[in-house]
């Protein structure tokens, strides 16, 4: 291999039209990663995790952090080696050369972003918003996703700068929860005994593993940043520090939030609330205006959804440039410099799915899809060790992707006590993806496009 960047896989090569604009530096990338991980899930799913494991709410988040951290090393090696949008789809194609597998991986990642954004839309229209106004939830969700599409279309610079503001607000809300917890400890409030309680109807082991599988949804997001690689300055140097630092920051905050939530609020109250952190504020700081915290939570939900929709559109753009789908999906607006066709397509899919599942099911489905993808990526990094590139890039110790593949495969399996309905939902989504693949194959043959195996 003679070039620093792998050749495009389409026979026509990469598009000669407008290219994406490199506007993201190290600080913006770090904020992007932190903002993506610190998403709607911690504001809405904390209670559901507690309901599965009991008072030891911090434990599933810690295990999920370890699994995510292992997989992050594989992503860092691959994004440094192949600095292109498309992420897991690109890595799968280069490692295995199987067009169907590549397409299904890309479709799974896209579905995970859309289901995550859909869960954020539902969270936005739920209890946090009800502190302000009563409104039809479906209508609010649709308007919410339409607004995100317009922001995404406006430009990556505007979207990322908005992410900085929303991340600051999001982080402020979680720091308020942590401060409430620290204050409670010094004042002798709360019940420390709950932090070691492991209660689950399915037993301790399945309680921990199923709660970890759901908590994993809260610690993903770093992989979204890989799809922004073509809009990042010097990605080979920028990504390792930004992603690893971002994961550590977010994991620390999540653990402190989990401890605070369990310390102050009984498990049954957390489990029954769709706004669990609001319950923490209500108990730990009754003087704090609940409407103010609800506003912070709503901005956090907006941030999570915006980043997921940005990821999904950039993933389609990257797939088009790699020849996995028709090139029209890679069309960049000449003035806005954004992949507008991909933005429209993913936004329409999100609007179609927004009312399909409840928040917990959406979270579990997202987690399952990504765990399957992460297991494949961890194997891909080992397979691609045989393919050399001339430029320097990050290289993970071999044991890390091995452990990452095993842990991701385990938490994606029925051995964790997952509800079998989750596999049914994923099967339906992947079946839809297979139909799309067949349609795509016909379209590619019709236009005379081909895809190489590498």
Mean pLDDT score across all residues of the chain:
81
End-to-end CA gap in the chain: 12
Query: What percentage of the chain reaches a pLDDT higher than 90?
Result: 19
Q: What is the pLDDT, as a whole number, of residue 444?
A: 66
Q: What is the pLDDT, as a whole number, of residue 371?
A: 93
Q: Name all domains of the chain by residue range, CATH numbers in brackets.
A: 26-443 (1.20.1740.10)
- pLDDT band at 4; cut points 50, 70, 90: very low
Among residues 302, 294, 351, which one has the least CA distance to residue 133? 294
DSSP assignment, residue 415? G
Neighbour-count burial of 186, counting CB atoms closer than 10 A to its CB (0-12 exposed, 13-18 middle, 19+ buried): exposed
DSSP assignment, residue 417? -
- pLDDT band at 58; cut points 50, 70, 90: very high
Neighbour-count burial of 441, counting CB atoms closer than 10 A to its CB (0-12 exposed, 13-18 middle, 19+ buried): middle
Among residues 265, 256, 232, 295, which one has the least CA distance to residue 54? 265
Nearest-5° angle of CA 311, CA 317, CA 319? 100
Q: What is the pLDDT, as a whole number, of residue 10?
A: 37
Mean pLDDT lowest for which of 34-38, 101-105, 245-249?
Answer: 34-38
Residue 53: both structure tokens together: 């494991």
85 SS3 class: coil
For the chain, the C-alpha Rg in angstroms (whole number) is 21
DSSP assignment, residue 96? H
For residue 10, list its beta bridge partners. 451
Q: What is the pLDDT, as a whole number, of residue 116?
A: 81
* Of residues 86 and 421, more confidently modeled: 421
| C-beta separation of 112 from 366 below 8 A | yes
**313 vs 32: CA distance, rounded Å:** 16
On the question of pLDDT at 282 being above 60, the answer is: yes
On the question of pLDDT at 377 being above 90, the answer is: yes
Cα dihedral value 170, 231, 30, 378, nearest 10: 110
The DSSP line for 46-94 is HHHHHHHH-S-THHHHHHHHHHHHHHHHHHHHHHHHS-STTTHHHHHHH
On the question of pLDDT at 15 being above 60, the answer is: no
For residue 137, list its beta bridge partners. none
Among residues 70, 66, 63, which one has the least CA distance to residue 198? 63
Q: What's the whole-model pTM score? A: 0.80
Looking at residues 282-302, what average pLDDT do you find?
87
Mean pLDDT lowest for which of 125-139, 189-203, 304-318?
Answer: 125-139
On the question of pLDDT at 19 being above 60, the answer is: no
24 SS3 class: strand
**45 vs 175: CA distance, rounded Å:** 18
Looking at residues 277-286, what average pLDDT do you find?
89
10 SS3 class: strand
Mean pLDDT lowest for which of 179-183, 287-291, 312-316?
Answer: 312-316
Q: What is the pLDDT, as a whole number, of residue 216?
A: 87
Neighbour-count burial of 84, counting CB atoms closer than 10 A to its CB (0-12 exposed, 13-18 middle, 19+ buried): buried
Residue 305: both structure tokens together: 């959804």
pLDDT one-digit tens code per residue, 123-179: 777 777 877 777 777 788 888 888 888 887 776 666 666 767 877 888 899 999 999
On the question of pLDDT at 327 being above 80, the answer is: no
At 227, give phi and psi (nearest 5°): -75, -5
Q: What is the pLDDT, as a whole number, of residue 349?
A: 80
At 259, give phi and psi (nearest 5°): -65, -45
- pLDDT band at 1; cut points 50, 70, 90: very low
Q: How far is CA 391 from CA 82, 91, 231, 254, in A?
A: 10, 17, 19, 36
On the question of pLDDT at 78 being above 80, the answer is: yes
| C-beta separation of 62 from 248 below 8 A | no
**302 vs 209: CA distance, rounded Å:** 29
Looking at residues 319-324, what average pLDDT do you find?
70
Mean pLDDT lowest for which of 61-65, 98-102, 304-308, 407-411?
Answer: 304-308
Neighbour-count burial of 217, counting CB atoms closer than 10 A to its CB (0-12 exposed, 13-18 middle, 19+ buried): buried
300 SS3 class: helix
Cα dihedral value 283, 119, 198, 209, nearest 10: -160
Residue 44: both structure tokens together: 């809405």
Query: What percentage of the chain reaches a pLDDT higher than 70?
Result: 86
**18 vs 337: CA distance, rounded Å:** 7
């Amino acid at each position: 291999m003679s070039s620093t960047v792998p050749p495009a896989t389409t026979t026509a090569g990469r598009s000669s039209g407008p290219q994406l604009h490199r506007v993201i530096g190290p600080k913006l990338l770090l904020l992007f990663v932190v903002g993506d991980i610190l998403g709607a899930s911690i504001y809405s799913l904390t209670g559901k995790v507690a309901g599965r494991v009991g008072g030891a709410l911090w434990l599933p988040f810690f295990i999920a952090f370890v699994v995510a951290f292992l997989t992050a090393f594989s992503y860092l090696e691959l994004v440094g080696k192949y600095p292109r949008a498309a992420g897991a789809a690109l890595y799968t194609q280069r490692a295995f050369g199987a067009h169907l597998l590549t397409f299904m991986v890309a479709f799974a990642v896209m579905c995970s972003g859309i289901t995550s954004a859909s869960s954020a839309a539902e969270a936005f229209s739920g209890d946090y918003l009800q502190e302000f106004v009563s409104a039809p939830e479906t209508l609010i969700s649709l308007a919410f996703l339409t607004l995100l599409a317009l922001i995404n279309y406006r430009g990556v610079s505007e979207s990322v700068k908005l992410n900085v503001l929303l991340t600051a607000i999001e982080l402020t809300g979680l720091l308020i929860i942590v401060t409430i917890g620290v204050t409670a400890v010094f004042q002798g409030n709360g019940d420390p005994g709950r932090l070691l309680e492991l209660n689950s109807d399915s037993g301790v082991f399945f309680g921990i593993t199923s709660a970890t599988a759901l908590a994993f949804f809260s610690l993903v997001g770093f992989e979204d940043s890989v799809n922004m690689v073509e809009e990042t300055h010097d990605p080979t140097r920028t990504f390792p520090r930004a992603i690893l630092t971002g994961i550590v920051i977010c994991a620390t905050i999540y653990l402190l939030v989990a401890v605070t939530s369990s310390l102050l609020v009984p498990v049954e109250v957390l489990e029954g609330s769709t706004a669990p952190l609001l319950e923490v504020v209500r108990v730990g700081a009754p003087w704090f205006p609940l409407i103010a915290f609800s506003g912070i939570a709503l901005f956090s939900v907006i941030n999570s959804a915006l980043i997921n929709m940005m990821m999904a559109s950039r993933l389609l753009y990257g797939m088009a440039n790699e020849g996995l789908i028709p090139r029209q999906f890679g069309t960049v607006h000449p003035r806005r410099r954004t992949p507008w066709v991909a933005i429209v397509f993913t936004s329409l899919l999100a609007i179609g799915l927004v009312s399909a599942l409840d928040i917990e099911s959406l979270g579990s489905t997202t987690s399952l899809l990504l765990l399957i993808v992460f297991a494949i990526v961890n194997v891909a990094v080992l397979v691609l060790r045989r393919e050399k590139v001339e430029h320097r890039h990050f290289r993970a110790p071999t044991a890390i992707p091995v452990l990452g593949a095993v842990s991701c495969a385990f938490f994606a399996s029925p051995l964790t006590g997952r509800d079998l309905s989750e596999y049914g939902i994923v099967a339906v989504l992947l079946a839809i993806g297979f139909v799309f693949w067949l349609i795509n194959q016909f379209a590619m043959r019709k236009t005379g496009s081909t895809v190489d195996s590498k």
